[in-house]
Structure 1
Amino acid sequence: MTRKGPLAHNYPAVATMVVAALVPYLVVSVALDPLTPVIARDLGMSTGQTSLAVGLANAGYALGTVLSVQLAQHLPQRRMMLLYTTLLVIGSVFAAAATEPILFLVGHVLQGLCTSLLLIAAVPPLITGFPPSKLTLTAVILNLSIFGGVALGPLIAGVQLEADSWRPLFWVIAGIAAVAFLLSLLTYQHVGPADPTATRSPVAVALATAGCVAAFYGVSRFEPQRALDVGAIAPLATGLVLIVILLIQQYHARRPLLILRPLTSTLPVVGIVVAMSAAATSVPAIALTGVVLRDRYTPLELGLLYLPEFGGAVIAAIVFAKLFTTRALHYFALAGMLSLISGIALIATSLPPTTTQTLIATGLIGVGVGASVTPALFIAGFSLRNNALQRVFAIVELLRAVAAFMIAPILLYIAASVGDSITDGVRLSLWICLGLASAGTLLAIALYPLGGIRPPSPSMQTWFGGDTAWRSPPLLAALHRRSTRSSDT
């Protein structure tokens, strides 16, 4: 008989395991930036070393999305989840107990890598492994755990800075990772490889590894205190080129690891554009706001100014639950982008913002991110069969991670290096954020009429039955039809 844990089919236990696996790194990724001076002081790290630790951890997060899919095809998936949670605990303990830079760097990189491995390995089975009646609750849990955790990062960092400490946070993170490991044992059930006949893709994994490491290493050298040189620009450019080559190679591959070709129809592209635009602008907007406000408030006061971001994420999750299985899912994602744009614009046009303006703006950003990214993931996911969900999430998360974690350091560097004052530099960077968010929103809106489709309602019965939840027309289908009619006449 196949061994099963006592909570193998217990939905609350499985959902809690997923939350415990994802939240630690997502909180740390936001809280770490303001804490790096304290960590550097205690561990004797230079600014370059702390930036490198952050950059390589983000590279691990981006790489893990591809690596998890490759491993899932040929190895028992639940056994791999046990390995991932074990490594997450080890990495979290390394980071919390570190007394020297190398131990902290290894631990933090393991945190980033294992979080994305678990995201791709654990989230799709939670969505498709339970009855359709659980799907809405699952979507809300994912929304709150991912973006709620991110929204609480600045407040948690403020609490730690007020105490002039950082280890308590990392030990709590290690404890949460241990809970994820324990629940992965209790909920264990044998799940075999996803597709043992799948072609192994060492080229794709090699391109993803080299591209992510090179790009994030390069961006980690964008330090305000140093001038840009070939040591920063060359690896960044090389890494981005390798990631583009990866996408092209997978698009044309006969049996690809990442199913990129089906994601190039209208609705998946809408989802990817929204997810990338929201990630690329929300993360730097919050960081840039902290740059201009940190001298006006204590760390705890500054952290409290970001609390409305969490409130906004909660509001977005509640509304999301009502609209998730309707055509309003599409409008909700676009409305989220408009809320995000409004929050960024409120800060950019009133630097330095007042307390009231900051509270309103962070609330709008929280609503915007919570209402855009998760709906965008499902807009892409519903366009393919549910057995492809792991691969859909992998490619979307790879692109979202590159957008979120790579653009923020570049904009922070611009803020510190351009203009007569830091306020001028932050204003320019925020206007860049605003431009990116606006361009992404306009493109996403335009893709519907260009594809000749109105926002459809997803068919959950069809999707859980093994087909797509809706039919997504080819990209720019309306233009192609018009061109064909013109040529016929």
Structure 2
Amino acid sequence: MHKGPLARHYPAVAAMVVCALVPYLAVSAALGPITPFVAADLHMSLQTVALTSGMANAGYAVGTVLAVQCAQLLPQRRMLLVYGTLLVIGSVLAAGATDAAMFIVGHVLQGLCTSLLLIAAVPPLIIDYPATRLRSTAVIMNVCVFGAVALGPVLGGVQASGHGWRPLFWVNAGIAVAALALSVLTFRDTPPAAPGTPIDQMALVLATIGCVAAFFGSAELLTHPFLDARTIGPLLGGLLLIAVLFVHEYLAARPLLCVRSLISTLPVAGVVAAICAAAASVSAIALTQSVLATRHTPLRLGLLYLPEFGGAAVAAVVFGIVFRSHLLHYYVLLGLVLLTAGIAVLNGAVPPTPALVAVGSGLVGIGVGASVVPALFIAGFSLRSSNVQRVFAIIELLRAVAAFLIGPVLLYVATTVGSNADEGTRTALWICFAIAALGAVIGVALYAAAGVRPPAPSVDAWMSGQQTGWDSPPLLARLRRSTSADDDCL
């Protein structure tokens, strides 16, 4: 079988994963401050730029499902080269765009290919190496996903201070080229996961139409009322189709996504925690950025959010220490608590002072870093490691919808509720606070209702692919036992 000179060389493979994920995640978080420059340079309206960002996020969400389908039927590492090539093309088109069409196509390709690479490259980094490497992988994933997002506001502020946008996009194009080069150097031909299985056309159609419609509706909130048919129709209709997707996958005899296997206490609690943390953190940062944009220079505003990156890095290191123990479960809960505290600090004064922004963003960084990826591992350990790609796809699809879809809705709330923007922002931040708190409450309630004490994962057994990392009790198992006992007494 064909091999690259750095095949199975862990540092090179890890570097490839970092380079594949960073470009789009950083740019999407940095786009806010540089949007006026993109619009002016390419003669686009702000609504068109918002719609482009929405469609790129839709591509990211759809790519999670498409990547799993391709992995079932096509040689996985060869597809990695295809995805990397398309990412380079998209990044170059976006950076060198001379008109709106080039930028739209390029940026949407960036979103789609990033999730394709995420689902194709990260699971092998988890399961194709000895268990001793898993700690490093856990830290890399955490820093990669949330470090890039946390650095977005800083990068956007630095770029906006130079009154431009192309240098940032060209740097990202260079990183995409590095990711492709590393994909070639680490190439190791692998067969399809399940050749001959039928294509789940229903899943692909529901995911594509649902995500495109939902993100289109949310993007239109920039210039249209929430109850306008152009916004509420696609938004609610798209969310309904995404819900139908999960129902279809639960009922299907040969599902593409292992939804049914995730319906037990620990994975459900993990998924809920990841969704709530993603939705609350991204929205809270976007809201405070919006309300402070006219009060600080882009560079100063970006630097105020630098503690978020520091917090995410600290959380990633601590996660690497606790993820093999029962403390993993408490760590996710601590993350949600710190996230709610960070949002409360940001909401302590609207507009928040620089000190409150620094402290609040740092707490948000720690909170989201301690909750989303650790929650992913809670869900992953509940199934065999051979299913980690499908688990990852489900969580990333839901995380993308939560993180990128709810933000525009809450920004709309901030501009329409109350007598002024500050009052509206305070209301929207309280919603973020409630979302994060709800994730913690639901998680604790699920553990209590199942009567489960947080277990430590059997990592070595899980890595073998022969068994799960722990036994996850059925939902509401303790209540069911209590009800059965009462029935017996009758």
**Shorter-normalised TM range:** over 0.9
Secondary structure class of the residue paired with 1:221: helix
1:34 shift after superposition: 2.0
Bigger Cα displacement from structure 2, 230-239 vs 290-299: 290-299
Distance 1:310 1:129 in 2: 29
Distance 2:34 2:228 in 1: 27
With over 3 angstroms needed to count, the CA separation of the structure-2 counterparts of 1:227 and 1:460, relative to structure 1, is: closer
Cα deviation per residue 1:340-391 (whole Å; 9 max; x = unaligned)? 0000011213212221111110100000011000100000000000000000
Distance 2:274 2:30 in 1: 22
With over 3 angstroms needed to count, the CA separation of the structure-2 counterparts of 1:242 and 1:225, relative to structure 1, is: closer
Distance 1:20 1:131 in 2: 22
Structure 1 residues 84-233: aligned runs within 5 Å: 84-223=83-222, 228-233=227-232
Q: 2:376 maps to what in 1?
A: 377
Amino acid at match of 1:387: S
Cα deviation per residue 1:182-234 (whole Å; 9 max; x = unaligned)? 00000001110011143320111011111011111111101157675101111
1:462 shift after superposition: 1.0
CA contact (8 A) 2:225 2:231 kept: no
Query: 2:480 aligned with 1:486, yes or no?
Result: no
Distance 1:225 1:451 in 2: 45
Q: 1:53 maps to what in 2?
A: 52
CA contact (8 A) 1:224 1:416 kept: no
CA contact (8 A) 1:224 1:413 kept: no
Q: 2:306 maps to what in 1?
A: 307
Cα deviation per residue 1:17-41 (whole Å; 9 max; x = unaligned)? 0000001110011101221111000
Distance 1:214 1:192 in 2: 34
Q: 2:319 maps to what in 1?
A: 320
With over 3 angstroms needed to count, the CA separation of the structure-2 counterparts of 1:461 and 1:100, relative to structure 1, is: same
CA contact (8 A) 1:224 1:417 kept: no
Q: 1:22 maps to what in 2?
A: 21
Distance 1:227 1:379 in 2: 36
Structure 1 residues 226-375: aligned runs within 5 Å: 228-375=227-374
Cα deviation per residue 1:2-26 (whole Å; 9 max; x = unaligned)? 1100000100000000000001110
Give the TM-score normalised by the residue count of structure 1.
Answer: 0.99
Distance 1:179 1:275 in 2: 30
Residue segments in structure 2 that go unaligned for 5+ positions in a row: none
Secondary structure class of the residue paired with 2:194: coil
Bigger Cα displacement from structure 2, 288-297 vs 101-110: 288-297
Query: 2:40 aligned with 1:41, yes or no?
Result: yes
Secondary structure class of the residue paired with 2:24: helix
Distance 1:177 1:282 in 2: 26
Q: 1:396 maps to what in 2?
A: 395
Distance 2:272 2:211 in 1: 20
Secondary structure class of the residue paired with 1:258: coil
Amino acid at match of 2:486: S
Distance 2:424 2:381 in 1: 41
Amino acid at match of 2:64: T
Q: 1:474 maps to what in 2?
A: 474
CA contact (8 A) 1:222 1:228 kept: no
Give the TM-score normalised by the residue count of structure 2.
Answer: 0.98
Amino acid at match of 1:47: L
Distance 1:389 1:449 in 2: 26
Cα deviation per residue 1:234-280 (whole Å; 9 max; x = unaligned)? 11111111111111010000110000001010000011001000011
Q: 2:416 maps to what in 1?
A: 417
Amino acid at match of 1:275: A
CA contact (8 A) 1:459 1:469 kept: yes
Query: 2:71 aligned with 1:72, yes or no?
Result: yes
CA contact (8 A) 2:47 2:223 kept: no
Distance 1:224 1:206 in 2: 28
Taking only aligned residues, the RMSD between alpha carbons, in angstroms, comes to 1.0
Identity %: 58
Distance 1:346 1:198 in 2: 51
